[in-house]
Each structure stands twice: as structure tokens, then as C-alpha cells.
Amino acid sequence: MARVVVLGAGIVGLMLLNSDGHEVVVLERDAAPPVGDHDALWSGWERRGVNQFRLLHYFQPGFRAHLERELPSVAAALDATGALRHNALALVPEQLSGGFREGDEQYEALTARRPVMEATLARSATSMPGLDLRRGVAVAGVVMGASAEAKIPHIAGVRTSSGEELSADLVVDALGRRSPLPSWLEVAGARAAVEEREDCGFVYYGRYFRSADGSVPAMIGPLLQDYGSVSILTLPADNGTWGVGIIVSSRDKKARALKETATWERTIAAFPLAA
């Protein structure tokens, strides 16, 4: 049995946990735990370390398949909390698709707003034996061990901002694209990490909606609709909610007015299939 330290208790960090019998410690800088139902999580749970926490999310069919295969209890918990099972192929008119066929069920997604999804994963994780989820703990660097091979540093754990050292057989970095781990490894004597970065050139302005009866409106267009210099993204979510995003060039200064609710609403009204 190994001792594993996972840095970051977001979606990726929590998904790494399973029932293989290892001792797992998850360290998360944000202190607040998930509290309340889906409404309370959406309005009140703060995850300052996740910039996109309340932006549009859609969890793809591969995510659902992995959950049902490796963590079926988590998939069941998501169903119980109101997560949406959504298969875009089932919504395409039969005249266009030829009808729903055997095997198309693999394209079913199990999706929700990010706070609802992450809270369900976190609550499921805390019930796992051998798991220690510590919130409000920031990591300041790595702990070095004896190297098995010359010039290749061996990481034997991490050091928190309070000075505590946690030993580990394996350290997993799930801190995201802003992770300081590459700089820690350089300090430890490792070769500099090779990174390639490109600005995607797009920005999106999104809002979430909820129906009065808990249903999701019928789709009369694809999830992503391209209109040349503008795209519209419509993503169904949990408990009768859905998100709508207007995607534009990040260089379009006039489009920054979409931050204003009235401007956003006037703009989306100009695209009937989404409106």
C-alpha cells in the first residue's frame, strides 16, 4: 500500500481517488467545504482558487463512462443530486440522424454546474476509507529524498506553508495550469519543464438560467452555434438549469460591453435558435 499526496481538491484531484486501498492525503488551499443543497452551493460556496468556478461547464460522455466504471457510487450520488443525463444524439431529428442506434448510448453525458459537480465529488471522497481531505492547506514546496540515480532528484513529499512536512510515495500535482510545481522541481535540481502556451484568442460571456418547472428547454440547434465572428454555446446542467455563453474574439474591445446584463440580453435575442 502506498501513501499518495494529491495537491488540489478540484475535479481532477478528486477524480484521481479510488478504492485501490492506498492511503491518500488531499491538500486544498481553499478552506471552505461544500455546504447545503444545489442552490446553496451555487450561491454560497466560494472557491477562490478556481477562476472559472461559476462559468459554463459541460462534463463530457467520457467523464460519465469513467465514473460509472471506476466510481459507480459517485455517479449514483450525482443522479440523486439532480445532475442531468444528456445525449445530444437522442435530440437530433430522426430525419437527419437516421434514428437512435445501438451504441449511441455511449454518448450520454452526466453533467452539472461546476459547484454542484465538485461538491458531490468532494462529499463522496470524504466517505472513502483511507482518505484524508485537508482544506485550508497551502503547499510551499517539495521535500527531497535520497536519489536512486545521480542527477535525478527524488521527491519524497511536500512541505506546507505552515512548515509541516508530509512524506509520500507519490505526489500528484492537480493544481491546474498555474501550478508552481515546475519551479519547485527546478529548485530541487530537476530539469526545467518544457511548456508550450498559446492564447486561444477567445473570451466568453455567460449566464445561467433555470426553468420554473425544473425542465430543460428543447434544443432547436446544436450546443455550439457558429455565426462567423460570434459563437453561441448552450449547455444544459443540473436541476433544470442551463448556461448560455457568447464567444467572441478577446481582441474585440466593443464586445466587452457584454459584461452588462442588458447588453448581453439584447445580443442573445439576435440569435433566435439560442434565444
The enclosing H or E element of 43 equals helix 38-44
pLDDT higher for 58 or 92?
58
pLDDT tens-digit readout, 205-220: 999 999 999 888 888 8
Residue 20 has pLDDT above 90, yes or no: no
**What stretches of 71-168 show up as alpha helix (H) in DSSP?**
72-80, 94-97, 114-126
Q: And the C-alpha cell for 144?
A: 527531497
Give the span between the Cα atoms of 262 and 58, in whole angstroms.
Answer: 25
Give the span between the Cα atoms of 175 and 94, in whole angstroms.
Answer: 43
Ranges 63-72, 172-181, 189-198: which has the least confidence: 189-198
Spatial contact of 233 and 247, defined as CB atoms under 8 Å apart: yes
pLDDT attached to residue 119? 97
Pairing mode, strands 152-160 and 139-149: antiparallel
pLDDT tens-digit readout, 79-119: 999 999 999 888 777 887 788 889 999 999 999 999 999 99
Q: What are phi and psi of 245, to 5 degrees?
A: -125, 140
pLDDT attached to residue 149? 85
pLDDT attached to residue 19? 65
pLDDT attached to residue 163? 96
pLDDT attached to residue 208? 95
pTM above 0.75, yes or no: yes
Ranges 1-5, 137-141, 265-269: which has the least confidence: 1-5
**What stretches of 86-194 show up as alpha helix (H) in DSSP?**
94-97, 114-126, 181-187
Q: Give rounded-to-5 percent helix, strand, coil for the chain.
A: 30, 30, 45
Spatial contact of 34 and 167, defined as CB atoms under 8 Å apart: no
Residue 86: strand pairing partners: 109
pLDDT attached to residue 16? 81
Spatial contact of 248 and 263, defined as CB atoms under 8 Å apart: no
pLDDT band at 245 (very low <50, low <70, confident <90, very high): very high
Give the span between the Cα atoms of 159 and 141, in whole angstroms.
Answer: 5
Give the span between the Cα atoms of 217 and 268, in whole angstroms.
Answer: 16
The enclosing H or E element of 242 equals strand 241-249
Mean pLDDT of the chain: 92
55 CA to centre of own chain: 10
pLDDT attached to residue 59? 96
Residue 28 has pLDDT above 80, yes or no: yes
